[in-house]
A and B are shown apart, each in its own frame.
Chain A
Amino acid sequence: MNDQRAGSPADPTEPVRPVLRLSGVNKSFGPVHVLHDVDLAVRPGEVTALVGDNGAGKSTLVKCIAGIHPVDGGSIHFDGEPVRITSPKDAADLGIEVVYQDLALADNLDIVQNMFLGRERTRGGLLDETDMERAARDTLASLSVRTVASVRTPVSALSGGQRQTVAIAKAVLWNSRVVLLDEPTAALGVAQTRQVLDLVRRLAERGLGVVLISHNMNDVFEVADRIATLYLGRLVAELPTRDTTHAQVVELITAGRSGDLGLPRAENVAL
């Protein structure tokens, strides 16, 4: 496990400048205050795991970054510049890609068509299939994806792990800078989880900032450089994985604090 993180370009103790930084982000749906003053930094070459109990606000936070739910307050900096993300297109333009839990793939389309969906390449007004097919194949090869037999296979014919792979490859096709993965291994078997986690690690090795949402502590401790914990809509701790234990993270998730980490006791009581 240590070997894997030693290969990563960033040393968690001396963080590189974040590519994406959220400060004091708030989000409410009507009377429900879902996110409270969330601060989060995503650094290039690092996997940041975002953990928290059901309803802690993980998916909402991802959707805020993705532009599906614009934030109510707080600021977002990209490459140190303040930005506003109000639509999925804004996020995509910045180079932020999201791989959704419910896999945003069109079943009847093949792998190439899915990977280029919304950003088709054309020549003379018509689709340039050859170019797209080559780029899709190159991207899969560069990620050492060996599980997909043909890039012209309809997505409906793929296994869960293959679909997840396509969804992730779609995200990196765009020279994206930040990739957010919402529970990418939730529905996968052991071998397929292994493949997807390898792929997640490879994204970071390519210098992308990766945010991984997961319920699975083993996955988190295996691939993450940092672990950020959400508790009732508050980001209570963001710690280097090497300085953290399973037990601490579980405590942070369930109680919002663990020893000196997380919420101060007084506030915890107030909650």
Chain B
Amino acid sequence: MTATDTTDTVDHPARRGGLAGAARARLQQLLALASLLVIGAFFSVASPFFLTYGNFTAILFSTVVIGTLAVGTTLVIVSGGIDLSLGTGMALCAVVAGVLMVDLGLPLAVGVPAAILFGGLIGLVNGLNVTLLGIPPFIATLAMMLVAGGLALVLSNSAPIYFTDVPGYLDISTGNLVPGVDFPNAVLILLVAAVVAGLVLSRTVLGRHTYSVGSNEAATALSGVDVRRVKIAVYVLAGLFTGLAGILISARLGSAQPATGMGYELQAIAAVVIGGTSLSGGRGSVVGTLIGALIISVLNNGLQIMSIPQEWQNVILGCVILVAVYADMLRRRRRG
């Protein structure tokens, strides 16, 4: 154990282990991706209508809303929190967009950012309730789920708001960036949003602190990190994604539906969990979440093509969640 010996062992295996560590971290994503491919291959064989470009974009398009919600809430879940207000929050943001642009006649360039910021406001209230009042995230966001769902009905008089007179609004979701090429804008928006969320989570100080708060909140605080600020930030970010989802879903439907939304939060959480993010916090990735959301879409789409009734689709989705989480636990136990 000479001095050179010492520095050597510190230096070299670090690089080897670094690669191995990175591979380990990617394993869950690879597993999810492999499952996605297997499911896709199964449907390709089972039905001649599955593997077509039209169906491919249809799957992506149907992933957009759940995907946007799931990507946003990945940050919250990695921080050890949970957000149940995503679904009705999304409906409320859609209604707010309708009120601003249809009822008040504000232009697109004002109404859309305002609706997204309103989502951020919902997140801010969630974050303050969790941090300043110390209400458990499950309860705080459950309450917000009810408040947002109710407000959506109040603001819209319980009637859908149609965007038919707002020029260009529907193009946000259904238009094509390159004319003539069938690739909906909504999918591009989801991808950009996911890249942003992924960068925040994996490359910024906020992202690093999000993982560490989810992993060991007390240790993070002792290291001089303002834990409350981290938590508020992730809820606000999730809220902004909720607002974006509200725009995307209402632009796709051509209307703000105040009564929809309930249930979307659970689908989003399902996508996050299938993607390998731990509900106990500290672990997960945006890429995994995207794959998780795609698995849900592919399943729904493929089962529909095979004419399997909606009721059974939910049964199968439930089983997939169980299998995905259990496989992850097995892998983890073997390693630990």
Contact = CB atoms under 8 A, between A and B. Distances in A.
A96 to B, nearest CB: 12
Interface in B4-21: 5-7, 9-11, 13-14, 16-18, 20-21
Nearest to B7: A141
Interface of B is mostly: helix
Given A107-B215, A122-B205, A141-B7, A150 B220 contact: no
Contacts of A144: 3, 6
A151 B224 contact: no
Contacts of B216: 104-107
A145 interface: yes
B219 interface: yes
Contact of A108 (B13, B18, B207, B211): B211
A110 interface: yes
Contact of B6 (A110, A146, A152): A146
B10 A117 contact: no
Interface stretch (A44-52, A54-62, A125-133, A235-243): A125-133
Nearest to A105: B219
Given A144-B3, A146-B10, A106 B219 contact: yes
Contact of B203 (A89, A107, A127, A148): A127
Contacts of A105: 216, 219
B46 interface: no
Interface residues of A, number: 37
A109 interface: yes
A109 B220 CA distance: 11
Interface residues of B, number: 39
Nearest to B213: A106
A107 to B, nearest CB: 6
Interface string B15-46: 01110111000000000000000000000000
B13 A150 contact: yes
Nearest to B205: A120
Chain A interface, >50% SS class:
loop
Interface in A92-140: 92, 98, 100, 103-110, 113, 117-120, 122, 125-127, 133, 137, 140
Given A108-B214, A146-B1, A152-B14, 16 more contacts: A103-B219, A104-B219, A104-B222, A106-B282, A107-B282, A109-B211, A109-B212, A113-B211, A117-B220, A122-B205, A126-B203, A149-B9, A149-B13, A151-B14, A151-B17, A152-B18
Interface of A: 88-89, 92, 98, 100, 103-110, 113, 117-120, 122, 125-127, 133, 137, 140-141, 144-146, 148-154, 156
Interface of B: 1, 3, 5-7, 9-11, 13-14, 16-18, 20-22, 199, 203-205, 207-209, 211-212, 214-216, 218-225, 282-283, 336
18 contacts: A88-B222, A105-B216, A108-B211, A109-B211, A117-B209, A117-B223, A118-B209, A119-B224, A122-B204, A126-B204, A127-B204, A137-B14, A141-B10, A146-B10, A150-B14, A150-B17, A151-B17, A153-B21
